Amino acid sequence: MTESLEFLTVDTGTQPTACIVWLHGLGADGHDFEPIVPELDLPPDLSVRFLFPHAPVMPVTINGGLAMRAWYDFESLDFGLGENAEHIRASTERVTALIDAQREGGIQAERIIVAGFSQGGVIALHAGIGYRERLGGVLALSTYLPLAEELEARMGLASRGLPVFMAHGHHDEIIPISIGHQARNWLKDRGFALEAHDYPMGHSVCAEEIAAVSHWLRARLG
C-alpha cells in the first residue's frame, strides 16, 4: 500500500467549501507555496482549504543520488524519457488519496482543484485529469507532461473539457518553454478548457502570474 502524504493545512475561513491541493517542486517542501495564500487575494467570503503536501524524500539520480523531497526520480533532462514511471504513479495515487479524504469530509469534487509547480505540476496533471470524478480543474505551472499516453488511457468522461491553467517562463532554464508548450498542445488537442500564459521569467513564479491564477480560481470556485 502506498504511504500517505504529510501536509500543511491553511484554511482561509471556517467550514471550507472548496479545496486546493498545491504540490511543490523538486527539493522544496509544502512550506514553499504557503505564502501564496494571501498573495492570491481570494474573496473573504470564499472559504478555501489549502493543502500543501510534502513529497517523499528519495535519492535523485540526476543530482548525483542526493536525497531530497521529490515526486519522482529522473535520470536525465531528456524530458519524457528519464522519469521514473512507478514514482509518478505512486505520487499520483497519494494525491488521489488526499482528494478522496477531502470529499469524504464534505467538499464536493467539483470544488477541488489540484495545483502544482514543476514536478508538482506533473503530478497535478496526472491526479487531476485522471481522477474518477470531475474536479474543479488543474493548475500546472512551469511544467510538462510525461507518460501522456498512460494518462490518456485513464481519462474518462469526467475529465472531458476540464478547466486547466498552465503558465511558463520564457527564460525557464530547467524545463524549456517548448516542452511546456508540447503539454499545452496535447491538452488542446483533447478538448480541455485550457488557459495558458507565458511570462518574462525563469523557472519561477511572478506577480503577474499570481494575479492571473487568482482570476482563474475565482472563476472556478466563485
pLDDT digits (tens, 9 = 90+) for 55-86: 999 999 999 999 999 999 998 878 877 899 99
pLDDT digits (tens, 9 = 90+) for 91-142: 999 999 999 999 999 999 999 999 999 999 999 999 999 999 999 999 999 9
Q: What is the extent of the structural domain holding 163?
A: 7-221
Give the active site residue among 118, 126, 159, 168.
118
Instruction: Give the mean pLDDT of the chain.
Output: 96
Record the pTM.
0.96
Is residue 2, in this structure, part of any structural domain at all?
A: no
Secondary structure of the chain as H, E, C letters: CCCCCCEEEEECCCCCCEEEEEECCCCCCHHHHCCHHHHHCCCCCCCEEEEEECCCEEEEHHHCCEEEECCCCECCCCCCCCECHHHHHHHHHHHHHHHHHHHHCCCCHHHEEEEEECHHHHHHHHHHHCCCCCCCEEEEECCCCCCHHHHHHHCCHHHCCCEEEEEEECCCCCCCHHHHHHHHHHHHHCCCEEEEEEECCCCCCCHHHHHHHHHHHHHHHC
Confidence of residue 2 (pLDDT cuts 50, 70, 90): low
Is residue 158, in this structure, part of any structural domain at all?
A: yes
Q: Active-site residue 126, yes or no?
A: no
If one counts the domains in the chain, the total is: 1
Would the pLDDT of 1 be above 50? no
Percentage with pLDDT > 70 across the chain: 99
Residue 100 belongs to domain with CATH number: 3.40.50.1820
Is residue 167, in this structure, part of any structural domain at all?
A: yes
Q: Active-site residue 4, yes or no?
A: no
Give the active site residue among 54, 181, 197, 203.
203
Is residue 1, in this structure, part of any structural domain at all?
A: no
Q: Active-site residue 172, yes or no?
A: yes
Is residue 205, in this structure, part of any structural domain at all?
A: yes
